[in-house]
Structure 1
């Protein structure tokens, strides 16, 4: 089959500067943080805007729905429009959406603005796709790993920082500061991002959207990596959704802010996972995937020892985050390399499975905890992880993914 693609000139390929990649990683982390900022603030926002408790959950739901809509409707635009302009434009619009949230005086306006914040936060996926296609093939994994690391750090830091700032200055200050940061980020990206080397695409927006299911159905590599995404983020969400219950209960009785700060332990695992991209660049994608999934299975053993010591939990968090991010970096490096001229669309399809896995893990963990407690959650997470390892074992003898990726790279070796 033939996908609509824009022309990419080989003459415009160049090594992506480390400084530029760092700015992209920071921008991605700040953008995705806006999706998770609201979670620790629900009670104080409800009191401020006179929202009924039953409606508070809409703040999280609409933000996530906005993000899901952005994955389908906005991320594919990166295959049609100039990606540099798209990234700068979406970041600038995020400033406006966050400012509206901070100034909201009614539940309706607040919820509408939050949905817009969620939709515009998908610029992080365009940043990943842009970094992966700008970098030379032998540096693609390192670039994707660095930007992805920024995203995960942003998620982990958002809850802790927003809760602490809210306690000191109020919830509106959290969004006012986020708006100012988005404005500064817009200016920084406009100066730092290189031009998009592609020529303008000739496909229509409608044809771009219609091609999304065909990418999934016709590309075995994308299907396989999408399954990995569903599995690892189902396990990830199973842990991070349920862990708040035992940590806030006896004997620990941690506050929400303390739980958020405890989540920062995961940054150590995320930083370690950046090395996965470099190994993928060397053709070790199958070994990285299998090793990471084995670590994911192993991580549930110390996690299950939470009742004995928080130190065991910390060890488990590092292993779990290291494993999940290593597979995630590998997945994105390979699919972007496979379709450099359609990176926006394949990232969008891939992230749908990320979202589905996260949602499934969250729903399952809350139910399992109510029935079987923390050990039931650990058993569920371990079962999901073992399923991922078995899936890897069943596909490990297939042709090397990385060779497939490099074979269609637009940049010369």
Structure 2
């Protein structure tokens, strides 16, 4: 496999040796990742409340989600790579503090323009969770790196899965503005905790920011493992986003007719799948990445196939499908990170940003096609697309067992 040099084709060396990660620090970093990432999703179930309050028409209300996700994508490409040249603790603290301010601005925004500007910054700064993950990997030894990454990613995925139902429940009590105020307070508290307990990590780098961003394409071009793992997760995360964008529509209509609170409870059941991240990390440390990858791809296909029983009104089938899809997709995320974080330590920030950006695009594809498919073809249309994505991933996976495939 042809890999960029540990200096990423530039004058970068490994960072100052980091302290060994402890269990309390792992828990703090996992909780921080979850709390930060949750900010991406609080607004999604609240659009119907936010739009009229800030003067956004129904046709433009989806900008709330679009700009949050756009900000996140920009952060992955423009902010996360800074972990390879800037002191990581300071980078995290600044980003979390800006998030707290942006959340407060969103909460008090009287009109659409300041609100949309605030959510763009919320999305961009939420990407700093992908700085904490490689930080944790740096502090772990090779034998436990997968487990450590899995534990931290487990916290991140729990935050993502619980954000929507939590926002729905809280908005009933304190309104949508109260949700943003509460999260702003949480980010402020998190800033103080991280300032006290997060260790410093200072990369030794001769890069300028322009050279750092310019190195992203050579890293992608010259790292087959990144392209392969990115393709797998692009397909599975597209499947994940397709399912979770479509299933509330299916549950709200015939034959289920669930209320918003009941749909929120359904989402909580699906959050159990986030528990796969620590398990996947342990399996990866024991050398089961390749077989584990095949199992999660097949598992995603089987779970989406099971969701076809929604046509006969089986909510149990949808619950099982939700748990298994989440379990498999989160597990594959960790498998990919374990592979990438065993490569060149000096470019882990850029590897992390590129990897997440690739599968984030898959999630955007899944979300974008969900509503048109459901509106025109019902759940059967969603089902066909949901089966196609893991099939594409599996077709790429079988090439791991051929000489030509391993070289790409």
Tell me, yes or no, whether TM beats 0.5.
yes
Alignment partner of 1:79 out of 81, 84, 87:
84
Q: Look up the match of 1:407.
A: none
Instruction: Evaluate the alpha carbon distance shift between residue 206 and residue 246 of structure 1 in structure 2; reply closer, same or farther with a 3 A threshold.
Output: same
Q: Look up the match of 1:92.
A: 97
Q: Look up the match of 1:206.
A: 210
Instruction: Evaluate the alpha carbon distance shift between residue 369 and residue 352 of structure 1 in structure 2; reply closer, same or farther with a 3 A threshold.
Output: same
Alignment partner of 2:246 out of 242, 245, 255:
242
**Do the aligned partners of 2:399 and 2:405 also contact (CA within 8 Å) in 1?**
no
> TM-score normalized by structure 2?
0.94
Instruction: Give 1:303 deviation, angstroms.
Output: 1.3
Alignment partner of 1:313 out of 300, 315, 318:
318
> TM-score normalized by structure 1?
0.92
Instruction: Give 1:344 deviation, angstroms.
Output: 1.1
C-alpha separation in 2, matches of 1:322 and 1:14: 31
- Unaligned runs of 5+ residues in structure 2 are none
Q: Look up the match of 1:266.
A: 270
Alignment partner of 2:14 out of 8, 12, 22:
8
Q: Look up the match of 1:303.
A: 307
C-alpha separation in 1, matches of 2:262 and 2:372: 24
Alignment pair present for 1:223 and 2:259: no
Instruction: Evaluate the alpha carbon distance shift between residue 391 and residue 213 of structure 1 in structure 2; reply closer, same or farther with a 3 A threshold.
Output: same
C-alpha separation in 2, matches of 1:49 and 1:368: 30
Q: Look up the match of 1:45.
A: 50
Instruction: Give 1:199 deviation, angstroms.
Output: 4.4
Instruction: Give 1:13 deviation, angstroms.
Output: 5.0
- Unaligned runs of 5+ residues in structure 1 are 402-413
Alignment partner of 1:276 out of 262, 269, 280:
280
Query: Aligned Cα RMSD in Å?
Result: 1.8
Give the stretch that moved more between structures: 164-173 or 178-187: 164-173
**Cα deviations by residue, 1:85-104 (Å, 9 ceiling, x for unpaired):** 11112111111111111111
**Do the aligned partners of 2:230 and 2:359 also contact (CA within 8 Å) in 1?**
yes
The aligned length equals 399
Instruction: Give 1:281 deviation, angstroms.
Output: 1.0
Instruction: Give 1:275 deviation, angstroms.
Output: 0.8
- Aligned pairs for 1:181-200 (under 5 A) are 181-196=186-201, 198-200=202-204
Instruction: Evaluate the alpha carbon distance shift between residue 397 and residue 327 of structure 1 in structure 2; reply closer, same or farther with a 3 A threshold.
Output: farther
C-alpha separation in 2, matches of 1:5 and 1:127: 23
Q: Look up the match of 2:116.
A: 111
C-alpha separation in 1, matches of 2:15 and 2:117: 41
